[in-house]
Structure 1
Amino acid sequence: MKNNSTKITAFILIATLICACNAVKRVPDGKNLLVKNNILVNGKSSNDETASNQMYQKPNGKLLGFKLRLNLYNLANLNPDSTYQAKFDNHPGRYERWSKVLSAKQVDRLGQSFINKGLNDFLKNTGEAPVIIDTAKTKKTLLRLKYYYLNNGFFKVQTDYTIDTVGIKRAKINYNITTGPAYTLDSIRTTILTPALDSLYHTSREPSILKSGNQYKTTDFEEEKNRITTYFRNNGAYYFQPTYVTFDIDTIGKQNKADVNLIINNNSIQEKDSSRTEPFKLYKISDVNIYTDYSAANSKSKINDSISYNNFNLYGYKKIKYKPRAITDAIFITKGSIFSDTRTTLSSRYLNNLKIFNYPSIQYEVDKRDSTAQSLIANVYLTPRKKYSFGATLDVTHSNIQDFGIGASVSETIRNVFNRAETLEISARMNIGSSKDMANPNNNFFNVSEYGLDMKLNFPRILMPFGTEKIIPKRMIPSTSISSGFSKQRNIGLDKENFTGGIAYNWSPKRHNTAKLELLNAQYVRNLNPNNYFNVYTSSYDELNGIGKDYNTKPINWGDTPEEQARKDLTIPKGTTGFTNDVLTGQTALLPGDPLYRDVESIEERRVRLTENDFILATSYTFTKTTKKDLADNNFYQFKTKIESAGTLLSAISNIASLPKNTNGNYEIFNLEYSEYIKTEFDYIKHWDFGKENVLAVRSFFGIAIPFGNSNYIPFSRSYYSGGSNDNRAWQPYSLGPGSTDAMDDFNEANMKIAFSAEYRFKILGDVKGAVFADAGNIWNVLDNVIDEKAKFSGVNDLAEIALGSGFGLRYDLSFFVVRLDLGFKTYNPAHEKGDRWFKEYNFGHSVLNFGINYPF
């Protein structure tokens, strides 16, 4: 073993040495490969990423410390055509001999084959050419660095560079920066020539970004320019632009300080060959004109219809098809108001949100009727989308339920249904599949199916019998959606029918905040084939059947002896139901308190819960806040919380009406016990961007659903599970927990969940990214009817049952979505005995490969 280890070590060292030597294979004599850029600020090495980004030349990229792309490039033959031709030039007669065997055409084509050319092109394109030090680019980088430090207040900065050889044809560049003292802002004054703007500036409640005592930074001056411009343009200064804001910086006679004079000149007006200046004017809106069916084709046509409504003028080239309020509610620009960019933006957002117009355009023109020339006419141009739009999809699928499936869906969108900008979405879906695990008495290839129909009606306002403008003003872009749906499964699980319906309100309290109130969310789940339970939940059957072989007292077949009985399986459903009933009614040797008795009791409790039909009538409120600015923002946080109450309204009505209870002491609706519970969730995500596509992302989640009143358990559809590609990736979905149980059931769920995840993401090669991650969490039962102590959360000591998975993954970024592969390893498994939980299954044999689309959080 020792000799083998020595050989392996020697091999690795030799391979590393060969690769290291190969790195400079294509570096010309007298030149050097750039191995490092070292920025020395006042004699100390700097890790300032922004300064590093000023480089015109950066060393070849590395993968785990190895220049993979450089070495791939060096493996390539850069002139494969010449090399191939040299085979014949150096060996006269070879071309003729090969031509006799193949043909001249085939010999020529051999030179373009993958082996001769394609492989080399692949290595060349995939690889990366050596970065050879170019002194011209080094000097340009030095100039960039100088301006970078000047822009940060180091007005006496001095720069130079040195190139140090660090090996054969290798060198690093030292950029030496001597900053000198940083200048700070001293006095700040203003010179604003337009009196109206001067008055606006001094009455502004927004604090200036420039403050006496702050270090000079050019970015602060740019931000102050934009702040002033935004403020002025939101207060009537229609012609104001950032270019009108300038700064006079005075450092004469100052010791590392600078006086600032903010200058805003008058409006410059170009008139033919001359120009003049005049004070800026603050404009008001004199008219709002809305063109409801504008297009480039009819822009010069005659207006044939018009309506005046609440100081808005609506025009149509054809008959206006909208009720005026449907359009005017979406427009925040009003007659008599001051011109404001914010109002323009809000109007565009709201109009887009209606989903009945294409790219609304808002333009302004000076009202020539105003002798003071301080009025603007707002023209809103709306191009309607098609009233009807049709969509269809076809998919081929594979899952753990079906080996092969074909899915199809069709959808129809109808816009402006009631002439108030409503949209109606109708969709139908169907899936047929083949599964060898499902019942198939007629031996049909397609033996499983599912179909469904959904409808959703959207209103661009809050539908209430009373006004909500004071609570939810229209600037929050409120909307109402009424939805209903139906789906049915055949030969899948218990063959469910699912009916859903509800009404929900959505609005945005702030730019990056959203709120959703589901006033009513109804769901009715009907199990069509409950007798199939033990065929679906095979783990429960295996456990019950094992107990039955020892304790079943009734013969499965007439005339069986006890010995024959012990060797036979429980039939489904008659044998399983009979044996369970015998145990729980004391007709077997198992007595209450026996571990196996409790197992049978637990199996029966779960069977009853999962085969019962469910009716849920819930109300929920969800609030989401994020600081994410756009898709490229990797330095943000997101917080989401939800509270849901089910059955409370029905119980209140039942109590008031003094309705009778059933034999279980519960109320019923449609001869069915409805669910009653309270549920709350907290979800927090935080991303840190360390630059160079290195991102640390963390997520924490807590959720709990507590049954009460009419229920002593949570319906399966509203419970929690753990495991899977977006959860703990070391376990399959539904295969972790509850608690310290060993995931005994086929679909393990519970009513409380804790989850934590951390993932470090980094760039590997081009669009290929990598990640290392750790996922922790579990699910438990709390305050419900589950009797298994291992599945319950009884106190803080049960936090020791939080499972830990860790692993690594690959991602391929396709811009519009990310394809993800993650390999998770069970690091800490609470299903094992204490003291035997760490790294018990930390190997590839017990690892889980997850496939996902986009990042998990």
Structure 2
Amino acid sequence: MKFILLNIISAVLFLNVFAQSERQYELESISYIGNSYFSDAELNDVISLRESPGSVSQYLNNLIGLGEEAVYFDSLSLPEEELKLKSFYFNNGFFDAKISSTYFPDSTDYECYVVFEIREGRLSRINKITAFGLNDLSAYHKRMIKGMTSVDTTENYSYSKISGINSNITNYLRNNGYMLAEFDSTTIYIDTMKNKVEAKLYFTHGKKYSLSEIDVVKSGVGKDEVDTELIKEVADLNKGDVYSEYNIRLAQSRLYRTNLFNIAYVKNEIEDTVGNNVPINISTEIGNMYEIAPEIIMNNEDNRFNLGLSVGFSKKNFLGGARILTLNGSIASQNIFEFLKNISVYNTTVIGYADLRLILEQPFLFGENILTRSELYTTLQKRRDEYNTTANGLKFTFNFELPEFVYLTSFNTSWNFENLKVLYQQNYLENVFKSYLNNVENLTPEQKDSLAAAIADKIVKVTSSNNTLLAFNLGANKTDDFTFPTRGYKTNLLIGNANALPLLLSKITNEELKSPLYFRTQIDFSVFPSIYHSNKNAFGIKLRVGLIDVYKGLESSVPYNQRFTAGGSNSVRGWQSRELVPEFSFGEFDFTSISPVDLEAILLDQAAPGGLFLLEGSIETRNRLIGNIGTALFLDWGNSWANAKSFRFDQIAVSTGFGFRYYTDFIPFRLDFGIKLYDPISGVPVMRQRFWKDTLQIHFAIGEAF
């Protein structure tokens, strides 16, 4: 009675205020009373009412269009919002939930406050789900559908759960020949005494169909360049196959994957069905077989933001078989103009890379739908005053088409042969040797500098190595959104074996194998617990572990581009890219009696940066602020070590920070400010370091950190 009286008073007051002024009232806040099962954020996603953004957001919207417009309150919308909330509770097992609302206008600031009072009532659980109308199916199909309707009797009732089962059964039928299968209705029986729900699902499946003719219609400038039989081969739909909507969607995906078609549409021709046979129509628009594609590059290569240029020339349907031959060249750097001025491998003033590669892609391998990519490449990487590298290699990658309803979402394997040449810079080698001389007594700092410079000046600064790597990459993405996940998890496992094939060849030819043999493993795992209960805010946790196990040869012979490093925009953001690497370790030797050749070998072995063991992680909260603008707070930790035995907890670097995000329809752009909390490298406490030069790192990057 008091609540009804309060509503009446509020309505009278609100009408009186509006009688005095025609000015609209901004909706300042929406709050809930009595909701214990669902959070305010979850209920806000149900209703259409939205709180008015702050004055800063409104000002930015008026000025440059980045903020949001003011939201004004309409009291006539409240009954509809109450109905939405009641339906939401009903569909989630609260069948006797009661919803009421009131509002409080503020005539001083022209603001209004809305309050929803909720009496949730008792929660009902699913007791049994039964599917009807499927008696004519085979025993196998009945068994499969029965598995779809089995439920946990302790699970809460949810209409979305029932709808999902209806959809799964309908899709299963349509993917197994029953093209006209439909869901008829659902009857829900509610036992209010026991708070139990029984659902009866009714279906009609119709006749079982097979494919008859596969008709292809071609159009576009390249229609005479692609054979009709090739289109059928790529689609892989054949006369006599059991009708499957999944296979039709997959055929369309295969056609687009070849990049031969501007438009590719695969559909059934129900009106032309004869008996139990249905024809399939494939309509395509084929583009030009020659393509020149200039691009602007923006990426996070080497855990740094790089900006660059790329141009590619492609010949589509090269030698038939839907192959594509591409010649691509690209240049990228943190300062692209400086890189173009100083592209020589001997220059020590810029960081960046240049890449030239010839690529052949084909949709088949041995007649199977395995997307195959062959690459012949040469890559120049410049690391300023540390080292520059030139990599020449050949790589084959095989992407396997996964069947429906499997855990993995991606699976590929690759084989890579690479010759890597590393040119170490004078200053870098001096620092390598100084790290040893610092432990040598009876030498003044000047003598150490002079000796290090003399040795670094005389030795050969170029190393060359040949390596092969056979790798398997397995991934599973179980998040709710690719660009902005708010719940679920994703994981990736990379397993590789290096130089096994050269070992076999060396046994046959009786030659000595100089390359090391090792296994390389990396596991990435990210989880997004739904603590915000909203699709506008996310909380994530990342863990990454990497290990290189050398079972034959020297650990120091593992090439630098296979080693692990930490630091950078996708790693520990308080440090620069590749800054967290193990210290140089020379062991025990007398440099005064060692031969120049052995000394040179030791120096170059230890000069390769990076470790054989990596452990790092992150905790991050991402929150939408204004429109497409968001913020992030993060805590990163990790480091790389010479090997797993060298791991020490007190060498784990820790940083924190904050960042800003701009979310586009495809990918977010981010600006992160990383601040060191614990620095295991410098030996100088963080509080004594220079903040702007030593403690703070700024990263501009594309995509989220994980």
Tell me which interval the TM-score lies in, with the shorter structure as reference length.
0.7 to 0.9
- 1:33 deviates by 6.0
In 2, Cα distance between equivalents of 1:499 and 1:544: 33
SS of structure 2 residue aligned to 1:505: strand
The CA distance in 1 between the partners of 2:519 and 2:191, in whole Å, is: 70
Match of 2:542 in 1: 699
Deviations 1:641-678 (A, max 9, x none): 1222222322232234333x5xxxxx3xxxxx434332
Do structure 1's residue 730 and structure 2's residue 582 form an aligned pair? no
The question of 1:174 aligning with 2:18 is answered no
Q: 1:643 pairs with 486, 490, 495, which one? A: 495
Q: Is the 8 A contact 1:411 1:425 kept in 2?
A: yes
Aligned AA (1:751): L
What is the rounded CA distance, in whole Å, between the counterparts of 1:185 and 1:72 in structure 2? 45
Structure 2 CA distance for aligned equivalents of residues 805 and 164 of structure 1: 46
Aligned to 2:536, what secondary structure does the other structure show? coil
Aligned mate of 1:57, from 45, 49, 55: 49
In structure 2, C-alpha distance between the alignment counterparts of 1:496 and 1:190, rounded to whole Å: 64
2:371 maps to 1:513:
no
d(CA) in 1 for partners of 2:293, 2:192: 72
Amino acid at match of 1:780: W
Q: 1:813 aligns with which of 641, 646, 663?
A: 663
SS at match of 1:221: helix
| Counterpart residue number, 1:461 | 364
Query: Alignment partner for residue 262 of structure 1, among 195, 201, 210?
Result: 201
Cα distance in 1 for residues equivalent to 2:200 and 2:615: 56
Q: Is 1:611 the counterpart of 2:552 in the alignment?
A: no
Q: Is the 8 A contact 1:188 1:261 kept in 2?
A: yes
- Confirm or deny: 8 A CA contact 1:827 1:840 kept in the other structure: no
Which of 370, 376, 385 is equivalent to 2:287?
385
- 1:848 — aligned with what? 697
Q: Tell me how far apart the structure 2 counterparts of residues 184 and 407 of structure 1 sit (CA, whole Å).
A: 57
**Residue 417 of structure 2: which of 509, 522, 526 is its match?**
522
Shift of 1:848: 1.1
Structure 1 residue 498 corresponds to structure 2 residue 391: yes
Q: Does 1:351 align with 2:260?
A: no
* Amino acid in the other structure paired with 1:235: N
2:312 paired with 1:411: yes
Point out the structure with the larger strand share.
Answer: 2
- In structure 1, the partner of 2:622 is 761
| Structure 1 residue 128: Cα displacement | 4.9
The answer to whether the 8 Å contact 1:549/1:566 transfers is no
Please tell me whether residue 234 in structure 1 is matched to residue 126 in structure 2.
Answer: no
Q: Distance in 2 between matches of 1:120 and 1:481?
A: 47
Question: Which whole-Å CA distance do the structure 2 matches of 1:122 and 1:394 have between them?
Answer: 29
2: CA distance, partners of 1:407 / 1:216: 54
Cα distance in 1 between the residues matched to 2:323 and 2:360: 7
Gaps of 5+ in 1: 1-23, 62-68, 77-118, 266-278, 299-316, 468-473, 553-564, 579-606, 662-666, 668-672, 784-792
Q: Hey, what does 1:824 align to over in structure 2? A: 674
User: In structure 2, the residue corresponding to 1:615 is in which secondary structure?
Assistant: strand
1:279-329 per-residue CA deviation (whole Å, 9 max, x = no partner) reads 8322222233344xx12899xxxxxxxxxxxxxxxxxx85x85494x5444
Distance 1:234 1:832 in 2: 62
SS state at 1:207 partner: helix
Q: 1:145 & 1:750 partners in 2: Cα distance?
A: 56
Decide whether the 8 Å contact of 1:209 with 1:220 is kept in 2.
Answer: no
2:32 equivalent to 1:39:
yes
Structure 1 pair 206/537, CA: closer, same or farther in 2 (3 Å)? Answer: farther
TM-score for both structures, normalised by structure 1: 0.65
Structure 1 pair 189/766, CA: closer, same or farther in 2 (3 Å)?
A: closer
Whole-Å Cα distance in 1 between the matches of residues 226 and 381 of structure 2?
Answer: 42
CA pair 328-45 structure 1, distance change in 2 beyond 3 A? closer
User: CA distance change for structure 1 residues 817 and 155 in 2, over 3 Å: closer, same or farther?
Assistant: closer
Cα pair 2:220 2:286 within 8 Å, conserved: no
| 1:375 maps to amino acid | N
Instruction: Report the Cα distance in structure 2 between the residues aligned to 1:297 and 1:72, rounded to whole angstroms.
Output: 49
Instruction: Give secondary structure in 1 for the equivalent of 2:646.
Output: coil
1:856 Cα deviation from its structure 2 partner: 1.2
Other structure's SS at 1:330 match: helix
Question: 1:667-686 residue pairs with structure 2 within 5 A?
Answer: 667=513, 673-686=514-527
Q: Which residue identity is paired with 1:55?
A: I
**CA distance, structure 1, for counterparts of residue 177 and residue 65 of structure 2:** 58
- Distance in 2 of aligned mates of 1:297 and 1:534: 57
How much does 1:570 deviate? Answer: 4.3
Larger radius of gyration: 1
SS in 2 for 1:220: helix
Provide Cα deviations, 1:494-513, integer angstroms capped at 9, x if missing partner: 66543111223221435652
- 1:281 aligned residue: 207
Distance in 2, Cα, partners of 1:255 & 1:337: 49
- Whether 1:717 aligns to 2:561 is yes
Secondary structure of 2:234's aligned partner: coil
Q: Distance in 2 between matches of 1:124 and 1:430?
A: 34
CA contact (8 A) 2:471 2:495 kept: yes
Higher relative contact order (CA 8 A, sep 6+): 2
**How many angstroms apart in 2 are the aligned matches of 1:72 and 1:355?**
42
Residues of 1 paired with 2:51 and 2:437: CA distance? 66
The reply on whether 1:365 has 2:291 as its aligned counterpart is: no
- Runs of 5+ consecutive residues of structure 2 not aligned to the other structure: 1-16, 586-605
> Which residue is 1:533 aligned to?
425
* SS in structure 1 of the partner of residue 201 of structure 2: strand
Tell me how far 1:420 sits from its aligned partner.
1.2
Q: 8 Å contact 1:622–1:643 — kept in the other structure?
A: yes
CA RMSD of superposed structures (Å): 4.7
- The amino acid that maps onto 1:337 is D
CA distance in 2, matches of 1:849, 1:210: 52
- Check 1:396–1:573 CA distance in 2 against 1; reply closer, same or farther (3 A cut): farther
Q: Deviations over 1:692-718 (max 9, x none)?
A: 511112211111223353434121221
CA contact (8 A) 1:439 1:491 kept: no
C-alpha separation in 2, matches of 1:448 and 1:731:
16
| Secondary structure of the corresponding residue to residue 51 of structure 1 | helix
What is the CA-CA distance between 1:802 and the residue it aligns to? Answer: 0.7
SS in 1 for 2:80: helix
Of 173, 176, 187, the residue aligned with 1:248 is 187
For 1:448 and 1:186, the matched residues in 2 are separated by 64
Shift of 1:162: 3.6
1:307 corresponding residue in structure 2: none
- 8 Å CA contact 2:584–2:607 kept in 1: the answer is no
Cα deviations by residue, 1:613-645 (Å, 9 ceiling, x for unpaired): 121122222212221455354323221112222
Deviation at residue 54 of structure 1 after TM alignment = 3.2
TM-superposed CA distance for 1:55, in Å, is: 3.3
**Do the aligned partners of residues 127 and 48 (structure 1) sit closer, same or farther apart at CA in structure 2, a change above 3 Å counting?**
closer
Equivalent pair of 1:782/1:794 in contact (CA under 8 Å): yes
Q: Is the 8 A contact 2:296 2:308 kept in 1?
A: yes
Q: Given the alignment, which residue of 68, 89, 97 partners 1:157?
A: 97
User: Over residues 501-552 of structure 1, what are the superposed CA-to-partner deviations in whole Å (9 max), with x where a residue is unaligned?
Assistant: 122322143565222222x31111235xx5x731455644776899999859
For the pair 1:70 / 2:55, whether they are aligned, the reply is yes
Gap change, CA 1:437 and 1:391, over 3 Å in 2: closer
In structure 2, C-alpha distance between the alignment counterparts of 1:395 and 1:286, rounded to whole Å: 47
- Cα distance in 2 for partners of 1:227, 1:439 equals 57
Instruction: Deviation per CA, 1:47-91: give whole Å up to 9, x if none.
Output: 253323233433334xxxxxxx23675xx7xxxxxxxxxxxxxxx
